[in-house]
Amino acid sequence: MIRILVTVYLIIHGLAHIVGFIVPFRLANLPDAPYKTTIMFGTIDLGDTGIRIVGVLWLIAAIAFFYLGIGLFFETSNWMLQTLFITVFSMVLCILGLPDAKIGIPANIVILIFLLISSYYSWLD
């Protein structure tokens, strides 16, 4: 049961990262996520090209979370280390995306806490 819950959580987390891709590429107009070319509370302007590069990084994180969710479901080995890496990567993206990406920080913390606890307990067997 826990394996399924964590799988769903990782996939939903990946879906949330899609916003970081579609907005810089102007694939959708989202009222809660307006297009802008700045990061770090608007203090660093990357321009159109720079923000698209950041958008690609968000897409990579989204794909990675999908992959990790599916990998966890099918019990691939080394998923914890891979999840740790991509969660830290996601946390960096969220910090760069502040204040718009503030919801991702606690979402990533939940994953990190789960990984920490799972390293001591075998919940997913």
Q: Over the chain (125 residues), what is each successive 10-residue block's mean pLDDT?
A: 91 97 94 92 97 98 96 84 96 96 96 90 64
**Three-state DSSP class for residue 1:** coil
Two tokens at 8? 């769903």
* 12 within a domain of the structure (yes/no): yes
How many distinct structural domains can be found in the chain?
1
Domain-located, residue 123: no
Is 55 contained in some domain?
A: yes
How much is the pLDDT for 48?
A: 97
Record the pTM.
0.92
Q: Assess if residue 61 is contained within a domain.
A: yes
Q: What pLDDT was estimated at residue 125?
A: 53
Strand partners, 53: none
Whether 95 maps to a domain, the answer reads yes
Domain of 83 in residue numbering reads as: 2-28+39-118
CA angle 71, 77, 79 (to 5 degrees): 55
- Judged on CB neighbours under 10 Å (0-12, 13-18, 19+), 83 is buried
> Between the CA atoms of 58, 60, 64 and 65, what dihedral angle is there, to the nearest 10 degrees?
20
